[in-house]
Amino acid sequence: MPDPRPHLGEPLALDLLNTRWMTADGLEDLLTDVAGVRQWLADNDLALPAGEPMRQALLTAREAILHTVRGASGADLNAVLDHGRIRRSLSAAGPATEPEVPQPEWLPAWLAADNLLELLSAAPDRIKQCAHPHCVLWFLDTSKNGTRRWHSMAICGNRAKATRYYARKLNGED
């Protein structure tokens, strides 16, 4: 089944945030059931069995990530990160790092929270919410000068331009 979400391809933490999006009918949520969890796992190449405990873990992580990117303390994110750790080892191939998450239902949630830490350490100012007032999607601004405003120029950027155009028309400016 194709993913119904309007914006895909963001880093794991932001992709988890983007499991909620706006439509003409209101807020949609991919994670309302286990089938949505399966969809999200498949979209992110996570070959794991989905179940209700994993759905609950992902919902917890999504809220923690949202609170963190909005500037709240990291307490919620740290609670998710407490479910696992990075295990470092030396193998025949050289140094290795691997996530160690004792409860498998927490692995995707933990990976998303860990990914947010990577994004925050690399470029915290590049984690942005779409500037359209009715959009709830997030993106990593990879533009050269860091001035991207919309998750998609074709969707929200075009809406903003059309709104400005019609406002000018109504005011007789064009």
What is the per-residue DSSP string for 18-77?
A: TTEEEETTEEEEGGGSHHHHHHHHHHTT------HHHHHHHHHHHHHHHHHHTT--THHH
> Does residue 157 lie in a domain region?
no
Cα separation, 116 vs 122, in Å, equals: 10
Where do we find the tokens 């759905």?
A: 55
Residue range 91-120: average pLDDT? 97
The count of structural domains within the chain is 1
Residue 160 within any structural domain of the chain? no
Q: Write the pLDDT tens digit of every residue in 14-59.
A: 999 999 999 989 999 999 999 999 999 999 999 999 999 999 999 9
Check: CB of residue 7 under 8 Å from CB of residue 139.
yes
Domain with 26 in it: 12-123
